[in-house]
Amino acid sequence: MDQLRHMKGQVLAVRGAVVDVAFDEALPQVNAALVIEWDRAERLVVEVQAHLDEKTVRGVALQATGGLRRGVGAATTGKPIEVPVGDAILGRLLDVTGAVRDNGPALPADMACLPIHRSAPALAERSAATSVFETGIKVIDLLAPLVQGGKAAMFGGAGVGKTVVVMELIHAMVKSYQGISVFAGIGERSREGHELYAEMRRTGVIDRSVLVYGQMNEPPGARWRVGLTALTIAEYFRDEKHQNVLLLMDNVFRFVQAGSEVSGLLGRLPSRVGYQPTLATEVADLHERIASVAGASITAIEAVYVPADDFTDPAVTAISAHLDSMIVLSRVMAAEGMYPAIDPLQSSSILLDPTIVGLEHYQLAESVRETIARYKDLQDIISLLGIEELRVEDRLIVTRARRLQRFLTQPFTVTEAFTGIPGRSVALADTLKGCRAILDGACDDLAESSLYMVGTVEEARAKQKASPTAAVQA
């Protein structure tokens, strides 16, 4: 970028992350990158967002502007921000502009670079996404199967386990699929980012992964654009290397939140519930680039914070409109210790269709949902009158639904250090076999606690045999 500068300007005004720059010549285009020529070692990049008049542009800084003064020079290539791509970035931690942030060696100077603003693949170029992306997590594979080349998201409020599920998916999938993993930390806490980086190094998956962070303590511009940086890197491996890519984003709500901050800083009138008027466009621009092309796919798995557990929030509804699979985490289940706290009734997937997953899987998933839904309906009666007042058929449904709920819990590898329970990855066939056995009554002799935090029904039987009187709180 430094070698291609040809348009000069100077800083006219600084208001936090918003910088006005005046040019004597023609103005750079919207989304073009400006490099501020100040006296700091840290490069300051500003992205043009608006033309104020014939001589002045307004942009958003992607780094902190502390110490920036009026009159400082600015230069632009007239191109968007470009980030390095290629095998050399595997195993590295980058920021929104592609700079290395892991205290490792610098990237090669001759690396190819791509702009973060790119068009989505044409509809005619896209491949149909109908392959199941098996995760090894029972409740997801059974009730909300993921699509290879599709978009899935985990919705939940604070503290219900979104990040833990994302980390488990990283651990399970990178090893199983031998693909490339690109992680976008959008508004991540520094502690979470450090823990994820250390975990990926410890488990040996870092060499096939790229981490891109725009952390919570960074300006809104960085959090706003870091998702596009990660997506650009994923597109390179899909289009140029023809490799399947797993794109994980935590947390997409912070992307929307950063866009709202930027919109306010630019003086735009807020829209519904105070969100930016461009909310739908920004979410669409991010998601429409996630697709399968020429036999290689980008599979996106996102964590989405739900403010105040309100699923009607405009940000949540805007994101959910683009998804193939919705995994909803329940605060009630988390409080009961049912981990992963995935709600079997609200979670859904377009792949749960008999023509795709098969008739047996579809019918079994529907039976599991029906049984648990009936148990939910009966809970008020049980609370008031006791289970003894139910009909024999309803009592049977309740006992089997409770066993299903506990069977769908699962110990995770990433939480082994805290729980002391080795993680389990369960094949879909074993999940189907276990649920069928519970629904058919073959597990009525098992204690509920024996089915809690195990992988398969065989493990549950071994657990009960080893400690028949054990009382595990579930």
Q: How far does the chain reach from its first CA to its final CA, in angstroms? A: 57
Find out whether 294 and 122 touch, Cβ atoms under 8 Å. no
Give the residue carrying structure tokens 């992350």: 17
Helix (H) or strand (E) holding 362, with range, is: helix 359-385
- Tell me how far apart the alpha carbons of residues 362 and 379 are, in angstroms, rounded to a whole number: 26
Cβ(341)–Cβ(327) below 8 Å: no
Picking from 29, 38, 58, the residue whose alpha carbon sits closest to that of residue 46 is 58
Task: Kindly name the residue from 58, 92, 151, 162 that is annotated as catalytic.
Answer: 162
Catalytic residue chosen out of the listed positions 82, 168, 188, 235 = 188
Q: Which of 69, 70, 189, 376 is catalytic?
A: 189
Question: Within 10 Å of residue 192's Cβ, how many Cβ atoms?
Answer: 18
Q: Examine the residue annotation and report whether 459 is marked as an active-site residue of this protein.
A: no
Tokens of 239: 């289009």
- Tell how strand 296-305 and strand 292-293 pair up: antiparallel
Does 391 participate in catalysis according to the annotation?
Answer: no
* 73-76 and 7-15 strand pairing: antiparallel
Q: Cα(166)–Cα(301) distance, rounded to whole angstroms?
A: 8
| Contact indicator for 224, 260 with CB cutoff of 8 Å | no
| Contacts for 376 with CB less than 8 Å, ≥ 6 apart | 345
Active site residue 188: yes
Catalytic residues: 162, 188-189
